[in-house]
Structure 1
Amino acid sequence: MISYPARKISTPNDQLNVLQITDLHLSTLKVNADDGSESKPSCQHSFEAILKQALSENIRCDLILVTGDLVNEVKPAIYNHIFKVLQATNIPFACIAGNHDVTDETNSELPFFQRELIPQLADSRLLSRHVIDTDYWQLLLIDSAVPGKVAGEVTAVDIDWLCTQLSACNKPALIALHHHVLPMDSDWIDAHIADNTDSFWQRTAAFSHLRVIISGHTHQEQVRHHHGVTVYSTPSTCYQFKPYEDEFTYDNNARPGYRWLQLANNGQVASWVKRLDT
C-alpha cells in the first residue's frame, strides 16, 4: 500500500502527469426503504466513475491531487470511503480541504441565505502547507478553507510559507488550493473567492518560477493568465455551475469532469479537461 500523503515523486521520464479531481461532495450512503440495501448517491457514483475512466486512459498517472470539498457533510465515514478508493489505485495522492470540509449547512432545502453555516474541524488527513517534491517541479499545497464560511482566505501566514518555499527552491512551482484566486466574472461565485488575493499576487510576483495555480470551488473549467502564471479552474466530479452567471445557476448540460496536467522538465505545462463519458 502506498503511504499517504505523497511527499516525493520520481517518474520514469522527464514529465510528471498529475490528475486533478475536485469538489466530490460525497454524502453518506442512502438506504433503500424497500429492502434496506444501500444505494450510491450520484456524486459518489460519478466520483468513482471518473476515477475509473481517467485511470483507464492511455496516460501514466503519477499523482492524484484532490483540491477540496471532498464531502457534503463532515463525517469520518465518508472520508474513510474516499481514502479507501484512492488508496486502491496504488497511485500517490494528496488531499486538501474545501469550505464543505470545514462547514456543515443546515436546512439545505432552503435558499442559501436562510441556511446556517456550522464550523467543523477538518479531517486530519487533509493537508495544509504541504510540499510534494518531484524531479523537476515543486508542488505547494495550502488550505484556503475557513470554518463556517463559503469564501476562503489565503492567510498572511500561508503567503509567508509559500514565499519561503519559493525562495528555497528554484524548480518550477505549482500551487494547489481550493478557492479561486482570480475573479470568474460571475457575481455570485466571486462573492466566495479567496480573501487576501491582492497580497498573494503582490508577494508571489517576485518568483518567476511560479508557473501554475490550480483550484476547485467554482465547478467549471476556466484558464486565466496573470503575472506570468497560468491559473486553472477545474470542473467538479459531480454537478457543475454555469459560467458567467451573476445569479446561482447550475449548468445542467455540463457533465462531471477532471483535469490532466503534464509538467515537463523545462517548466512547460500542458493541461486539458476531460468529461465523464455518457
Structure 2
Amino acid sequence: MPSYPACKISNSDNQINILQITDMHLSAAAIMADKELGSKFCCEHKFEAVLAQALNEDIRCDLILVTGDLVSKVQPAIYDYIFRVLAATNIPFACIAGNHDVTEELNSELPFSQRQFIACPADSRLLNRHVIHTDYWQILLLNSAVPGKIAGEINSSDLDWLCEQLTHCDKPALIALHHHVLLMHSNWIDTYIAKNAEMFWQRMQPFSHLRVVINGHTHQEQTASYKGVTVYTTPSTCYQYKPCADDFAYDKKAKPGYRWLQLANNGQVASWIKRLDT
C-alpha cells in the first residue's frame, strides 16, 4: 500500500493520470437534508460511488488529488473514514483543506447572514506546501483555507514558497488548491474567491512553466485560460451549484462529478469531467 502522502510518481509510459475529487462534504450521519432540494443527499454514498466509477474506467489512475471540503462537520472520525476508503484503493493520494475543513458553521437553520463561523484547526493529514514529483512534472499543493472564513487566501509566505519551488525546478507545474483564483461570474460564489487572487497571478507571471491550476469550492465545472495557464474548476462529488447565478442556487439537474487530468511528458495536459452514471 502506498505511503501517505504521495511524494514521487513514475511510470514507464511517461504519462501521469490524475483523478481529482473535491467537495465531498461528509458529516457524521453522511446525510444532508435540504428543503430547497426537496430530497436527501447521501454524500457518503455518492463519494464512494464516484470513486468506484472512476476507478472502474478504462484508464490507469496514478494519483488521487482531493481538493478540499472533505467534511461538513470537523470530526476526526469522518477523516478516518475518508482516509480508510482512499488508502484501500492502493493508489497514491493527497488531500488539502477547504473552508469547511477549518470552519465550524453554527445555527445552520438560520439565514446565511445570521450564521456563526468558528475557526477550527485542520486535520493533520491535510497538506500545505507539499510537492509531488514526477519524471516530467511537479505538482504543488497549497492550503487556501482561512480558519473561520468561507473565502480563501494564499498567504504571502505560501506565495514565497511557490515562487521558490518554481524558481528552482523548471519542470511543467500544476498547482492544486481549494478556492478559485478566477471569477466564476456568479456574484455569490465570487464573494468567496481567494481574496488575493490578483496577487497570486502577479507572483506567478514570471513562470512560463506553470501550466495548470486546479481547484474545487465552486461545485461546478469551468475551463479557462489566463496568462498562459489553464485553470480548471471541478464539480462536487455530492451536490452542485447553479452556474452564473447571482444568488445562491443549487443546480438540481447536474450530477456529482470528478475530473481526469493526463499530464504528458512534453508538458501538455488533457482534462475532462465525468459525471456519476446513476
Q: Scaled by the length of structure 1, what TM-score is found?
A: 0.95
Contact 1:24 1:69 in 2 (8 A): yes
Corresponding residue for residue 142 of structure 1: 142
Letter paired with 2:79: Y
Q: Is this contact kept in 2: 1:27–1:41, CA < 8 A?
A: no
Cα distance in 1, alignment partners of residues 114 and 42 from structure 2: 25
Instruction: Give the Å deviation of 1:41.
Output: 6.1
Instruction: Quickly say closer, same or farther: Cα 1:30–1:249, change in 2 above 3 A.
Output: closer
Q: Which residues of 2 match residues 165-176 of structure 1 at below 5 A? A: 165-176=165-176
Distance 1:6 1:30 in 2: 27
The equivalent of 1:42 in structure 2 is 42
Cα distance, 1:29 vs structure 2: 2.6
Look up the match of 1:15.
15
Deviations 1:125-159 (A, max 9, x none): 00000000001100000000000000000111111
**What is the match of residue 36 of structure 2?**
none
Q: Which residue of 1 aligns with 2:62?
A: 62
Count of paired positions: 270
Looking at structure 2, the residues matched to 238 and 30 of structure 1 have their Cα atoms a distance apart, in angstroms, of 11
Please name the residue that 2:152 is paired with: 152
The Cα RMSD (Å) is 1.2
1:2 to partner: Cα distance: 1.6
Matched-pair contact (CA < 8 Å) for 1:29–1:41: no
Distance 1:217 1:115, change over 3 A: same
How does 1:84-103 map onto structure 2 within 5 Å? 84-103=84-103
| Paired residues of 2:30 and 2:43 also in contact (CA < 8 A) | no
Q: Give me the whole-angstrom Cα distance separating, in 1, the residues matched to 2:118 and 2:45.
A: 27
**Which residue does the alignment assign to 1:83?**
83
- Runs (4+) off by over 6 Å: none
Match status 1:122 vs 2:122: yes
Decide whether the 8 Å contact of 1:145 with 1:179 is kept in 2: yes
SS at match of 2:259: strand
Which residue of structure 1 lines up, in the alignment, with residue 74 of structure 2? 74
Aligned to 2:236: 236
Q: CA deviation at 1:10?
A: 0.5
Structure 1 partner of 2:245: 245
Quick one: percent identity of the two aligned structures?
70
Q: C-alpha offsets along residues 61-119 of structure 1, whole Å, 9 cap, x if unaligned?
A: 00000000000000000000000000000000000000000001012122211111011
SS at match of 1:152: coil
Shift of 1:30: 6.4
Task: Return the alpha-carbon distance in structure 2 between the equivalents of residues 30 and 12 of structure 1.
Answer: 39
**Which secondary structure state, in structure 2, belongs to the residue aligned with residue 162 of structure 1?**
helix
SS in structure 1 of the partner of residue 2 of structure 2: coil
Note if 1:178 corresponds to 2:178: yes
CA distance in 1 between counterparts of 2:9 and 2:270 reads 19
Give the letter for the 1:248 counterpart: F
Secondary structure at the counterpart of residue 81 of structure 2: helix
Alpha-carbon separation, structure 2, partners of 1:234 and 1:8: 24
Q: Give yes or no for the alignment of 1:187 onto 2:214.
A: no
Q: What corresponds to 1:223 in structure 2?
A: 223
Partner in structure 2 of residue 255 of structure 1: 255
Change (3 A) 1:248 1:5: same
Deviation of 1:187 after TM superposition, in Å, equals 0.4
Structure 2: how far apart are the matches of 1:131 and 1:150?
25
Point out where structure 2 has 5 or more consecutive residues left out of the alignment: 32-39
Q: What is the distance in 1 between the residues matched to 2:88 and 2:213?
A: 27
Counterpart Cα distance in 2 of 1:25 and 1:266: 36
The answer to which of 63-72 and 3-12 deviates more is 3-12
CA deviation digits over 1:160-212, x for unaligned, max 9? 10000000101000000000000000000000000111111011110000000
Distance 2:255 2:174 in 1: 26
Answer whether contact 1:220 1:235 (CA < 8 A) is retained: yes
Q: Separation in 2 of the partners of 1:208 and 1:151? A: 28
